[in-house]
Structure 1
Amino acid sequence: MEQKKKEQDVLVVRDEQTGEIGVVAGLKRDGTPNMKPAKAEHAQDFLRFDRHGDVLDNFFANFYRQCTNPKRFAFYRVTAEGIENVLMVMREMLKKPDEYREVLAAHRVDTAKYEQQAEQMRQEAQQDTDQGIVSETPDGVSGRQEDETESQSAEAEQQIPAEWGYKPIDDSRLDRTEIAERWGIDLAALEASGDLERMRNYGKSRLIDCNPEIGGIRVPMQARLSLRENSDGTVSLVPHPIRRAPNYDEYLNVKFTPEDQENLKKTGNLGRIVEVVDPTTGELLPSFVSIDRITNETVSVPVRDIKIPHEVLGVAMDDDQRAALFRGEGVYVEGMTSKKNGKVFNATIQINADKRGLDFHFGSRKQEQRQEQTQVAGGEKQEKPRKLRIGNTLLQKPITDEIKKGWEQNNWVYFEGLIDKKGQPFNAYVRPNHKRGKYDFSRKRPDESQIYEIKPDNASRTQVAVNSEGKTNEATKHVGEPLQRGQTAPANEEQQRRQQNANKPRMKM
């Protein structure tokens, strides 16, 4: 009986902005909770979970990944039995949260670990961006839908089926009534959202809410959907529910090597061709293998079903590049042009079994360095020079055009007030080291011929003249302290008093 009660737990959510309260029935397209009234007619829509199930973890993982303002919502775990009365009581208690703090705390869901996981993913994504890496992985999807590189990737993905000559699946052979009854899915809504078009072209829908009937009971779940052509000529709907984590150990008859696991974690693609058994015929088929980054499902597609392109977004593929793609490897390509905005970009492309087309990894350093640093000539590797990317600041100090001018001449430039990792200021001569890909720092003064002197701006001329060159200025010569940047007059009452006293005429004796 106790286990049955646990299996009937549901989530109650309160919008802290509006005060709206309801039972969670999945997520909306924008990642916010889908609230349903605690009415019997909505009971089949409620998200239900047991103590040891994955449903709760999956829900919050997706919630923190998709919702732009998660702190706006508070979640409470309560039993589904008598939920209408429970919700009524909770609504009254939430009007006086201080008075019922202990009671509410017993039911409130501690989401700290989910927030930490989401923050860790964001930090890792930010670190990748700072290093010039914007590569989606199954373990950490950033969810930045407006990012330009992701838009280019999505654009390329949509273009591939048409370019490669796929024959769309005939969805008219679907039994729409059976799908609505069995899965609780409205194909007309999928058509309106554009998901059905992706499914026709051997792709998957976005993550949607569905309510399959299992053993006479409706079980709310989130899944991606695809279409499958059957041997008898019919077409079936295939759901792909969210898995708790990818399986990095094996897929059907294929055992993953440590290198395979590393590739799957970094790029979502196996990086080689393997023979995968066809569950229906038992035939071993050379296949590409990838991981669905949204559902964590492992996916394969036979090599024979993928056509390697001769051109990708305006860039012709040579025989070596096409051969590498055919082997499942990544190929770094420069000068591709976005058809959406006309911008030129570079990326590593690779066959992705889940997309049944090309995957785009932006700024993949491994392939980029392989392309930029190494040339093979007579069997020997020759290093090519690379350039360190110069930003707008260095250790919290601005990098001006004058500084860049000195660095272009490979000279040292003196910086004052750089901030180290411990937050302490220091002064040093700095110049970029393009070979090592980082900056060189020297506290000792280098040879004069290697120093680029920065001319002080007008605001600093007096400061430099008085403090560094030993010159005097009538307005500030008696302030008694080194001048600050831009100072051309006494800065406070004490300095003003000293200056005035020094300027007073003295009586001759």
Structure 2
Amino acid sequence: MAKKNGRDDPPKPQVSENEQMSDIVFILDKMELILQAVSEISKDGRYKTVPADKEHQNSFLKIDRYANMFENFLKNFWSQLKDPTRFGILSVREDTLDTPEVRQAVEDIAAGKQTKAVEEFLKKYEIVPRDKENQSINHQNQEEMAKKNETPQQAAQDGGQQQPKYRYNESMINWEELKKFGLSREYLQERGLLDQMLKGYKTNQVVPISMNFGSAVLRTDARLSFQQSVGGPIVLGIHGIRQKPELDRPYFGHIFSEEDKKNLLETGNMGRVVELKGRNGEYIPSFVSIDKLTNEIVAMKAENVFIPNEISGVKLTEQEQHDLREGKKIYVEGMIAKSGNEFDAHIQINAERRSIEYIFENDKLFNHQKLGGVELTQKQIEDLNAGKAIFVEGMQRKDGEVFSSYVKLDEATGRPAYTRYNPDSPEGAREIYIPNEINGVKITAEEQQQLREGKTIFLNDMVNRKGEEFSSFIKADLETGRLSYSRTPDGFEQREQFKIPDKVWDVELSRKQRADLQSGKAVLVEGIKGYDGKTISQYVKANFNQGRLDFYNENPDRKRDASQRNVVANVQKQGQEQSSRKSKGASIA
């Protein structure tokens, strides 16, 4: 496979002599909040990094941002990224490294915090891709250039700033309600999860949540997302962890073959496109994968997949692109990692990620010395790499909560999976972990044994996370080890039949708007007042399958085609139609 051909270098801006070799270049992983300093750049754009701390400051590379090797580095960096929004390049003058604002921002990033200092640091020093040629410019220069090029109409609409495009409007989220799950806006933002959720994605990690139903309290780990509710507000979607994927049951009309099951369990992807039955009875070609964090089965329409011409510096052949569209796994050699090193890997469409993923089959060894702050023995590390489960006591979560758990490496990802039961024990005779203290109340060995046998115990004077005392019956799930709390028998909720309401968020709907909604059309509702007091406008459309109204920032009836092939076909078709009209006009004349 041929490597990417270099394009002609763009003209360099003129710089004064004292600006040469005076910048320090940083690379920031915005999702993990890891900051690295570039220590070396070769002529072909490959680079090496060191931690961005005082210990390695003498290794920081001082560079002219307009030098050829820096331009090659930028082109190489942006071209190899699968998710450019996740990473950022920052160019900081050497003499500003010890200023209070820069020092504070670097310290906050190292501590995993997204503070005002970090926000200002990125705004001032981040370099961003400007166009398809992978040229890059600084945010300060970008704002100045945008002001020069924008029309008065654009300036009036945007207020001089480009707003991020989100699937959900934050003003429609009731944060007071989310506090019932132990969540807050600040908590999600500090962990880098809020942006993902507002864009319509699930969090890239599991999050501990607690739910208090009055008669029962449930604590669990789950991936989170925002979803449209029946009544209008954006509500919390909870994607709980399943014990294993449900592959023995039909999935939207598809029955998994033995080969399908084998592929999904080994790679997380089914390896082919299948027709899934939609809610309206139509059959939709789709990719199917497994969420490796929760074991949930996830599908994506095949027409929405984007297949690039090049990945990590390697140009794909037409056959390779075709194989990817068919869901197959292909092996690609000579790709360039962000460190500048070459690597080989399989790549395949992953429906859960909605993009191409890299599959490494020989890089799943666990080499950490600690888990949750607890030092592991050599035997425990060897057992993990041998595929066995170990029990680790006294670990600490990021929020400070101490917990104990069985740990086993996930076969697909190689990451530690934490469970309250021993995954090596057989189903029906699970070995589960029962703590010796529940919500601040010590329990006896007899009570622990009763819980292991599936019996119910009753505890007084427990304290929940809000500091409130409560008493409850407690029972353990013998398969998962999770504890359930109850004072009264569970009740059942009945759904009311969905009807188009007279009002949306206290905004009176006209007769025509209600008629359009009833016929399945989207309507624009203006004057909605959000929880934050802001007045917003939203497109609204009835979702009869789910019995609710869905809200959108953009008109959902506007047809979009995310398929690369169809986009190209449409452009070609328009060109042919224009040529045809021109030729007809010429013949009439």
Q: Name the TM tier (shorter chain).
A: 0.3 to 0.5
1 or 2, which has the higher helix percentage?
1
Normalised by the size of structure 1, how large is the TM-score? 0.37
> Which of the two has higher C-alpha Rg?
1
Normalised by the size of structure 2, how large is the TM-score? 0.32
1 or 2, which has the higher strand percentage?
2
Higher relative contact order (CA 8 A, sep 6+): 2
